[in-house]
């Protein structure tokens, strides 16, 4: 495992783990209630939202819209939540992020509770995602001074950018996944010259091969290592000085 850097002011604004399942029993609306009973000690605040999914079919010109209900269970500070919808579980943590060990424990506990009430047959998709916001103080925001993954401006145009975004999909065969790296400009706050978003998502290539036990946990751990390594390889020491490495 790589050496982990620790920052006093980390740029992470949200971490999330998303899991989708092949059902082992027919889905019904009692499952979210059963899951809430299992997690409400840590996530007592319950909210519901309607979620619209758009489906395209190659053999038909019609577009189908399907509305499903998503239940969200928040902790008391609304800094962490567990989301459940049809054959899907998402665990999110906002700022302040408590560190990987705590977040990992939250994910695995929610997964165990979900398996107990929903009885899934297999995992159909899984992903780990970390969203970072990098603020730049008032000293001139040259992209290359902070990020190593930046767009290339054609030589006939001025280098100043009003806005920008970049998305890359990169296979990582060793850890059996796809890295989705998105970077771009972010709205600025007072005292900032600019701010950048660095959004790193790692998705499994063959989720069905992971099972629901040790192999899945090992993949999640490996996904976190890939995301950390990708983050560190995407920033400069100027950016690290903003985060105040300990």
Predicted local distance difference test score (pLDDT) of residue 60: 55
Provide the sign of the torsion angle of the four alpha carbons 156, 159, 161, 167, taken in this order. positive
60: in domain: yes
- Residues in CB range of 69: below 8 A, 6 or more apart: 29, 32, 48, 49, 50, 51, 85
pLDDT of residue 130 exceeding 90, the answer is yes
Rg (CA), the chain: 20
pLDDT at 58 over 80: no
| Residue 49, CB-side half-sphere exposure with 13 Å CA sphere | 7
Position 187 in a domain: yes
DSSP state of 129: E
Range 217-241 average pLDDT: 96
Which domain range does residue 31 map to?
12-243
pLDDT of residue 181: 97
Range with top average pLDDT, 44-58, 116-130, 178-192, 200-214: 116-130
pTM of the model: 0.89
Instruction: Tell me, rounded to whole angstroms, the distance of Cα 145 from its chain centroid.
Output: 25
Q: For residues 104 and 91, is the Cβ–Cβ distance under 8 A?
A: no
Work out the pLDDT band at 124, boundaries 50, 70, 90: very high
User: How much is the average pLDDT of 189-204?
Assistant: 90
In a domain, 1, yes or no: no
What is the pLDDT, as a whole number, of residue 220?
A: 97
3-state secondary structure 167-202: EEEEEECCCCEEEEEEEEECCCCCCEEEEEEEEEEE
Q: Tokens for 44?
A: 């007592």
Rounded mean pLDDT, 82-100? 96
The answer to whether residue 204 is domain-embedded is: yes
**pLDDT for position 150:** 84
**Does 181 reside within a domain?**
yes
Q: How many domains does the chain have?
A: 1
Residue 59 has pLDDT above 60, yes or no: no
Give the whole-angstrom CA distance, residue 162 versus residue 79: 32
Q: Is residue 2 part of a domain?
A: no
The pLDDT of residue 144: 86
Residue 129: partners with Cβ closer than 8 Å, 6 or more residues away: 14, 15, 16, 17, 18, 199, 200, 201, 202, 227
């Amino acid at each position: 495992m790589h050496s982990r850097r620790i920052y006093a002011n980390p740029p992470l604004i949200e971490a999330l783990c998303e899991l989708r399942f092949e059902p082992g029993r027919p889905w019904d609306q009692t499952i979210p209630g059963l899951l809430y009973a299992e997690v409400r000690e840590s996530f007592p605040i319950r909210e519901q939202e309607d979620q619209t999914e758009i489906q395209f079919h190659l053999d038909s010109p019609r577009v189908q819209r399907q509305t499903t209900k998503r239940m969200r269970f928040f902790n008391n500070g609304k800094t962490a939540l567990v989301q459940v919808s049809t054959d899907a579980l998402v665990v999110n943590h906002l700022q302040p992020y408590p560190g990987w060990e705590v977040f990992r424990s939250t994910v695995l506990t929610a997964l165990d509770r979900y398996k107990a009430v929903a009885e899934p047959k297999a995992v159909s998709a899984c992903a780990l995602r970390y969203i970072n916001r990098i603020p730049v103080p008032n000293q001139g925001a040259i992209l290359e001074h902070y990020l190593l993954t930046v767009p290339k401006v054609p030589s006939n145009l001025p280098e100043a950018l009003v806005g920008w975004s970049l998305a890359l999909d990169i296979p990582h065969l060793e850890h059996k996944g796809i890295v989705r790296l998105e970077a771009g400009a972010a709205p600025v706050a007072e005292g900032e010259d600019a701010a950048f978003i660095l959004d790193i998502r790692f998705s499994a290539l063959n989720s069905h091969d992971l099972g629901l036990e040790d192999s899945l946990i090992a993949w999640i751990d490996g996904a976190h290592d890939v995301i950390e390594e990708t983050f560190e390889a995407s920033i400069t020491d100027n950016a690290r000085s903003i985060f105040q490495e300990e």
